[in-house]
Copies of this chain bind each other. A is one copy, B any other.
Amino acid sequence: MAVPGCPLCEGPGGTVIFSGPKFRVVRAAEEGFPAFYRVIWTAHVAEFSQLSPEDRETCMAAVVCVEEALREHLQPTKINLAALGNMVPHLHWHVIARFDWDSRFPDPVWSPARRQVPSERVADVEALRPGLEARISARLVNSPPWPA
């Protein structure tokens, strides 16, 4: 099923937090965004609507699991969700904690920067990541959102 040349078929796409049969959760290294995660579907599918209804439910349960953990652990100003895939048409959801101090807020992360990011704020979030990521992984291991 892997498509030669697809970076999400051939590589993890970030630091792996959880890996299951249907999807994995990774942390992306996006400068100035210390809580930028992705839910990457394992199979090479371009569009969300190409998944079966059951797989769509599994996929969004994973997205919601990450979103809830970000809200609980980080109290971000807002959560941003997006499945774009213009560059890499392999289904992946961006799940991003946004803060009113981040470089683009309230613009999307893909807009030009508005300000410098205070490095101590980034460090504060980074310090919370181990607990956050342990929570995400534990929830997905203990209550896997795919049919038994």
The size of the chain A interface, using a CB distance under 8 A, is: 32
Find chain B residues with CB under 8 A from A64 CB. 48-49, 56
From known contacts A67-B48, A67-B49, infer whether A107 and B86 are also in contact, taking CB-CB under 8 Å.
yes
CB pair B71–A78 under 8 Å, yes or no, is: no
Give min CB distance, A27 to chain B, whole Å: 19
A residues contacting B by CB (< 8 A) are: 46-49, 56-57, 60, 63-64, 67-68, 71, 77-87, 89, 98, 105-108, 110-112
Give A12 Cβ to nearest chain B Cβ, in Å.
Answer: 22
Complexed CA–CA distance, A133 and B3 (Å): 34
CA distance A36 to B77 in the complex (A): 26
A56 to B85, CA, bound (A): 22
A83 to B68, CA, bound (A): 15
Q: Check A86 against B82 for contact (C-beta < 8 Å).
A: no
Of B46, B71, B78, B85, the contact of A84 (CB 8 Å cutoff): B78
Given A56-B64, A86-B107, A49 and B78 contact (CB-CB distance below 8 Å): no
